[in-house]
Structure 1
Amino acid sequence: MQKYIAIVAHGLEQLVFDEIKILGGQSINIVFAGVTFEAENSIAYELCLSSKFASRIVQILAVGTVKNDKDLYDLSYSLSWEKIFDSRNSFVIDFKGTNKSINNSYYGALKLKDSIADRFLNIQNEPINVDKENPDFRIHARLIKNEVTIGFDLCGEPLHQRGYRSESGIAPLRETHAAALIEKSKWDVEQFLMDPMCGSGTILIEAALQKKNIPVNFFRKKWGFQFLKNFDSNVFINVKENLKKSFKNNFEEKSIIGFDSSSKVINIAKKNARIAQVSDIIEFKVQNIDDLESIPHFNNGIIISNPPYGERMGSHTDLIKLYTKLGSKLKMFFGGSNAFIYSSNEELLNCLGMRAFKSFKLRNGKLDCILKSYSIKAREYEEYNEGTSDNNANLNIAIDFQNRLKKNIKLISKWAKSENVHAYRIYDADLPDYKVAIDKYNDYFVVQEYAAPKKIDEKKAKRRLTDILRVLMEVTNSDPNKICLKHRERKSGKSQYEKISSNNNFMNISENNLKFMVNLHDYLDTGIFLDHRKTRQLIYKMSANKDVLNLFAYTGSASVYAAAGKAKSVVTVDMSKTYLDWSKSNMKLNGFIGSQYKFENANCMLWLQKNTMKFDFIFIDPPTFSNSKKMENTFEVERDHVDLLLLASNCLKQDGVILFTNNKRNFKLNNELLNSNGLSAKEITNSTIPEDFKRNKKIHNSWLLNFK
């Protein structure tokens, strides 16, 4: 009898315990991410061939106390390595764990290697052969606190590498995990099994191997234990022959079925199944989830699936739509069956619209994932058959938000149509539990999530956001690809104009018969401030025959309105070359080209100090805060607005007007200081708030200033 440890993904220990017990292992104990046991060589060989859940099987050579690197070296050197393997065979050391003295796993592996090298050199005068790329076998060491376990890895390559995977789809499920999902489903091999989003087919191939009673690693050609000096090839051959006698063939129908929307991935799945020698009992078909329907003879079969989640593919809105559709299809066509869905995102699982009767946590790599079990009731099946063709018509979530959104859309869309407005706000944190802003741009929607208060649980906040997106898609019947999600929070030392992606997806919107380029994806803001719609109309009215200056111009929408209002000249100033180019494009889009339209790429404060021109009308809409690298100092609107306005007044004609606006909440204009410097200010905020922003009176602040 030898001592062994089966290395296991945490959460699968009990499954491996049961496998070892069935094979006849003795003294079986579960440890963290492992199972220790004693067994004859034949059982160890069979476990390597057949374990569905273990990652590695390691023969334990020594267990000892290690307080420092010398203890590790001495323990390893005491082992008769020359009797265990031939020095001509190549190996690598897998060292896991640290303690106070050995605080680096690489250093632990180095000391272990040194001891083995010295042993061979001193006993047999032979060098060792270390090969990190393609070793014949692996030496395993696990250090937990001050106890180390040193062993010989019987497997070589990890057991989840079955050998049938020619290629894979995006972020494939590990084979040991797929087998665990099947085990947890309690699938009977006589039942039908279906995966509606099968990817490269891992779950279905693992199930087919079980149905045909083929040990999962039966066809592997190379094993670590073959390089042990005491390897008994006859015993290994007998184990394989006995296992082969139990293979099952000649099945009447293909009762394991997989669908995927990608023909490329389905072809990979078919190839993988052929390599695993199970293609005769699996049916793979290219099919979108929208086309999922009843399967002949499926009866009360089992559905197991690992649908895409954020780490694998798709935007959040795409995935919400996908999971919602999956839940609808399962309830519509598979009443009476059980479904087992594995994901890292519980909010997406909630979109299935089914109540789980059991759950099982299992990490997939670095992701915390969960397998939820659902019983698809026949009652649900009947309800969906009797209902409308719109499976989500009675979405029973976030009812208060649903009602408010419907009410807002009804009122605001009527106003927008009468005003010929194509970009407007339909919701702005109206309800405290649903703190988002939703803007409509033609048939696109931009959802801006405000940072939740710290007292709100993160999972609860995520669930609410998912509910918001589900409701938005349902109420507006919108394409998830046309919903853009952004997270808005108070920036500390960063510009609100910071770029967040590089899709360069521009589109045009129309406002008061003028056109503007917007980008809904790449920036936190889109290229036009919707709350300044009435402000822009005011600029239009005040610009006729005037020399106009637009400071902190952003994408130049104010310049476009000034030009449309028959301004004599327009100077557009912004520190960002990107936004200044955007301004030029907006002007050109509306046909405003000529020497009377000038563009200055500059720090507005410094530009004002150097400028010698005089203007009839100056529009100033500065950021609340900026610390751009192009500036020597930071800019904070409440602190610096007086200096800014005084500099601007130096460029203002005697009868000129400044329109000053900003969006800092609770901003206080320093009237006293401005008055003492000869400027008079009149607040016009209320008259500049458009209809779709009247629910938020503090969206911005506006004043008209002139000389007293």
Structure 2
Amino acid sequence: MEGLLAAELSALGAQQARKTVAGVYFEGALVTGYRACLWSRLANRILLPLTRFPGQDADALYQGLLQVDWGAIMRPEQTFSIDFSGESTAIRNTQFGAQRSKDAIVDWFQQRSGRRPSVERRDPDLRFNVRLSRQGIMLALDMAGGSLHQRGYRLQAGAAPLKENLAAAILLRADWPGMAARGGALIDPMCGAGTLLLEGAMMAADIAPGLQRRHYGFERWQGHNAAQWQALVSDARGRAERGLRATLPEIRGYDADPQVVRRAQENIARAGLETVVRVSCKPLSELKKPTHKPLPHGLLVCNPPYGERLGDKASLQYLYRQLGETMLREFAGWQAAVFTADSELGRATGLRSHKQYKLWNGALASAVLLFDLDNNRLSEQHPGPAAATATAAEPASEPRLSPGAEMFGNRLRKNRRRLASWIKREGIDCYRVYDADMPEYAVAVDIYAGQVHVAEYQAPREVDPEAAAQRLAEVRAALPQALAVAPDAVVYKTRQRQRGDQQYRKQADSGEMLTVQEGQARLLVNLRDYLDTGLFLDHRPLRLRLAREAKGKDFLNLFCYTGSATVHAALGGARSTTSVDLSNTYLGWLRKNLAHNGLDESRNRVLRADCMEWLGNCEQQFDLVLLDPPSFSNSKKLNDSFDVQRDHAALLNAAMAVLRPGGVLYFSNNRRGFRLDPSVQETWECVDISRETLDPDFQRNPRVHSCWRCTARA
């Protein structure tokens, strides 16, 4: 920030401004120092040198400070503190240096008046800076008496707050003052405590950043010129009043966390900018350019989480991609500035930044990435390792098929034709095209956004292994031709009963995530690494039903898996969602799905717990509950095995206990031959909606799952 600060100080009347490491030296009259304290948007401290003297050890430090005329600086009844920096072979501890400096000041007053000033670390009348370097020792007065980034409007912030002077630097690098002068708007889609918005508003309204500070250190300094200072303050107040009366640009902010939005509103009120800055609760997934008046150009600026302090990096890549897509879709023609400490996350937006400026956020090396949204486009590369793209097979290379392979291929084509009008009408991205229609070809074939996933059902023991292998070979031969995909775009797996943690174990390590669309939701599937893909296609109608019913409700997803139902409920307008599962693998996947849809975890809780145990301790109630347990589990994480047929009554009763009056619970499972316990039906109103929750691609096999709508009896 040194270059920006040097330019700012020169504009404020500073002479001989020159950069140094983490600072700027400048010369000028006392009024220049006053003006810098009041008007600098970038400085942390303004230090007024009082004296310099040679020395490297404690005695030289003490004697040098003892020669200062402290009576011309402060009174003995005042309090003070020392900020000591630097070290030498004799002074290796800043606390020791501060102590010897304090001794000199106290002894000076004691020797001359018999009175001694007191040290006050928290809120002293005067704060001094003593710096030890190879050139000697410098004593300076901290003119502001504390960091100038504290403007006075922010008492509370959200997690990982952005300092005000750093926010100002981001806006200056993005040329916000020039854009505001041309009538551009300012929007922050992840505004947090509203710091970027408030700094932007003060720039646009010509409000001095230090105008609301309660006091300055120099006001208690003996050399203070009160009349000169008051003249500067009066002029700044007049400029602020005129600025607020002028036509100001549109300045809006959004955040997904309602508590953070309330803090931002409080900060805005303390700054007196309620008529200029407006914030509201809205996740990134709902961000759109305001339409109440024409906003042809402006600046979209934000400081998204970047892993060092907030969020999980793997999930954040999808959040940044969502940000990039939203910026380009909603704010074409605008400029954008994204501040991040992670260059990889910056690239995850998929947009090309035309300029980058390095800045430090505390100890984090960070950067402001500038984007021109008028001349930009999204890269094809998605977050994480790229998934293979399905491509049409070359007709010339099609081998001659055996009769069995030809028969299997014909069935695939027939099924696809049968589903074609439904797929087009409903905008279906993923569907099942074949499910062991012919018993001898016992596979399930699913389409995921043009890619193919084949699950071979484990053959019974009485089936000849060679015959089973031959039939799978015929499937492999026929499938690329029948579905017009390249052979390497088809993934094959064998389904068998999984025990313990086997269902969570990787079968590969590609890391390939494919984005598929289902209703409003963009969901991540992995076709290669696990037995399951992360999306159970037969539950599609139930997920879409939950999306329709979730608005304004508190939603609970038990055994949440990768959280696709949670995403649907959140996008459907749920007041809150809570997702519970015992698998870290699936909960991490859920976090990626949330981020991929621009959904914040402040309203979408993700909990790792045994569902039965968690329900026994749950004190919250919910309006809408999804209970979709596994058919069987004997994971080592559980004290006992779970069998849905044997244990569902106790589980269902526990889940119904957290349901609010008038609420609805959907109970679903994939156990073949499952029967609902009669005691459950006597206690609760349970309506079998299994057939209602099957789309055309699963209606041939109605036993794929069972589903009930459960409510309290009237």
Aligned with 1:214 (options 179, 203, 207): 207
1:8-157, aligned counterparts within 5 Å? 12-145=1-134, 147-157=136-146
Letter in 1 for 2:270: I
Aligned runs of 1:385-396 on 2, under 5 Å? 395=382
Answer whether contact 2:126 2:221 (CA < 8 A) is retained: no
Does residue 419 in structure 1 map to residue 496 in structure 2? yes
Distance 1:442 1:510 in 2: 17
Matched, 1:231 2:224: yes
- The Cα shift of 1:400 comes to 6.2
Distance 1:222 1:505, change over 3 A: same
The one of 313, 319, 324 equivalent to 1:327 is 324
Compute the displacement of 1:413 (Å).
Answer: 7.4
Matched residue of 1:165: which SS?
Answer: coil
Contact 1:254-1:282 within 8 A present in 2 as well? no
Provide the rounded CA distance (Å) in 2 between the counterparts of 1:424 and 1:161: 49
Does residue 243 of the first structure (1) align with residue 221 of the second (2)? no
Larger CA deviation: 354-363 vs 309-318: 309-318
Shift of 1:14: 1.5
> Aligned pair in 2 of structure 1 residues 213, 92: CA closer, same or farther (>3 Å)?
same
Q: CA deviation at 1:27?
A: 2.6
Q: 1: distance between equivalents of 2:122 and 2:248?
A: 43
Q: CA RMSD in A?
A: 3.7
Deviations 1:490-530 (A, max 9, x none): xxxxxxxxxxxx9652369999x74223xxxxxxxxx4xxx
**What's the counterpart of residue 253 of structure 2?**
258
Of 263, 266, 284, the match for 1:289: 284
Q: 1:192 to 1:591 in 2, by over 3 A?
A: closer
| 1:516 and 2:626 aligned | no
Counterpart in the other structure of 1:373 = 370
Distance in 2, Cα, partners of 1:409 & 1:84: 80
Match of 1:193 in 2: 186
Which residue does 1:360 correspond to in 2?
357
For 1:428, give the aligned amino acid: A
Q: Secondary structure at the match of 1:54?
A: coil
In the aligned structure 2, how far is the partner of 1:109 from the partner of 1:369?
32
Q: Distance in 2 between matches of 1:32 and 1:403?
A: 54
Q: Tell me, which stretches of 5 or more residues in structure 2 are unaligned?
A: 392-446, 458-491, 513-526, 537-561, 571-578, 580-585, 591-605, 613-627, 648-714
CA contact (8 A) 1:99 1:146 kept: no
CA distance in 2, matches of 1:126, 1:27: 41
CA distance, structure 2, for counterparts of residue 403 and residue 121 of structure 1: 85
Partner of 2:508: 428
1:45 and 1:281, CA in 2 relative to 1: closer, same or farther beyond 3 A?
same
What secondary structure is seen at the aligned counterpart in 1 of 2:144?
coil
Give the counterpart letter for 1:371 in structure 2. Answer: V
2:693 corresponds to which residue?
none
3-state DSSP of counterpart to 1:67? coil
In 2, distance between residues paired with 1:175 and 1:349?
A: 22
Quick one: distance in 2 between partners of 1:323 and 1:60? Answer: 46
Q: How does 1:559-598 map to 2 (within 5 A)?
A: 582=638, 584-586=639-641
Q: 1:147 to 1:585 in 2, by over 3 A?
A: farther
State the alpha-carbon separation in 1 of the partners of residues 105 and 361 from structure 2.
Answer: 35
Which residue of 1 is the match for residue 429 of structure 2? none
Match of 1:274 in 2: 269
Equivalent residue, structure 2, for 1:309: 306
Aligned-partner Cα distance in 1 for 2:329–2:2: 37
Distance 1:342 1:473, change over 3 A: farther
Aligned to 1:624: none
C-alpha distance in structure 2 between counterparts of 1:278 and 1:333, whole Å: 26
One-letter code of the match for 1:337? Answer: W
Against the structure 1 CA distance between its residues 121 and 213, is the aligned structure 2 distance closer, same or farther, given a 3 Å change threshold?
same
* Aligned-partner Cα distance in 2 for 1:119–1:295: 64
Aligned counterparts of 1:70 and 1:402: Cα–Cα separation in 2: 74
Given that residues 58 and 153 in structure 1 are in contact (C-alpha distance below 8 angstroms), is that contact kept between their aligned partners in structure 2?
yes
Residue 505 of structure 1 aligns with which residue? Answer: 609
How far has the Cα of 1:224 moved from its partner? 0.4
Q: Contact (CA 8 Å) 2:385, 2:510: kept in 1 or not?
A: no
Amino acid of the structure 2 residue aligned with 1:73: Y
What corresponds to 1:410 in structure 2? 453
Q: Is the 8 A contact 1:425 1:437 kept in 2?
A: no
- In structure 2, C-alpha distance between the alignment counterparts of 1:398 and 1:350, rounded to whole Å: 13
User: The residue matched to 2:328 in structure 1 has which SS?
Assistant: helix
Superposition deviation, residue 287 in structure 1: 1.1
1:609-650 CA-partner distances (Å, limit 9, x unpaired): xxxxxxxxxxxxxxxxxxxxxxxxxxxxxxxxxxxxxxxxxx
Amino acid at match of 2:496: E
Query: 1-side partners of 2:360 and 2:508: how far apart?
Result: 38
Q: Percent identity of the aligned residues?
A: 25
Give the distance between the partners of 1:315 and 1:379, measured in 2 at CA: 28
Counterpart of 1:214 in 2: which secondary structure? coil
CA–CA distance in 1 between the matches of 2:645 and 2:126?
71
Shift in alpha-carbon separation, 1:86–1:409, aligned structure 2, 3 A? farther
CA drift at 1:90: 0.7
SS at match of 1:299: coil
Give me the whole-angstrom Cα distance separating, in 1, the residues matched to 2:104 and 2:146.
24
SS of structure 2 residue aligned to 1:372 = strand
How many Å apart are 1:141 and its aligned residue? 1.6
State the distance in 1 between where 2:511 and 2:258 align.
45
Cα distance per residue 1:138-185 (max 9 Å; x no partner)? 111222345332111110121001000132111110000000001000
CA displacement at 1:303 relative to structure 2: 1.0
Structure 2 counterpart SS, 1:94: strand
Give distance in 1, aligned partners of 2:510 and 2:229: 70
Query: What 5-or-longer segments of structure 1 have no aligned partner?
Result: 1-11, 385-391, 446-471, 487-501, 518-526, 528-554, 556-581, 593-708
For residues 105-125 of structure 1, the C-alpha deviation after alignment (integer angstroms, 9 at most, x for no partner) is 101101111111111112332
Alignment length, in residue pairs?
A: 461
Residue identity in the other structure for 2:77:
R
* Deviation, structure 1 residue 49: 0.8
Whole-angstrom CA distance in 2 between matches of 1:198 and 1:109? 39
For residue 300 of structure 1, what is the amino acid of its counterpart?
H
Distance of 2:112 and 2:389 partners within structure 1: 79
1:422-461 correspondence to structure 2 within 5 Å = 423=503, 427-429=507-509, 438-439=529-530, 443=534
Cα 1:586–1:244 change in 2 (3 A) is same
**Residue-by-residue CA offset, 1:675-701 (whole Å, 9 max, x unaligned):** xxxxxxxxxxxxxxxxxxxxxxxxxxx
Partner SS, residue 254 of structure 2: strand
C-alpha deviations, 1:416-445, integer Å up to 9, x for none?
Answer: 67535592656524699xxx9944578489
Letter in 1 for 2:641: N
Distance (whole Å) between structure 2 residues aligned to residue 267 and residue 305 of structure 1: 18
- Which residue identity does 2:362 align to in structure 1? G
Residue type matched to 1:376 in 2?
Answer: L
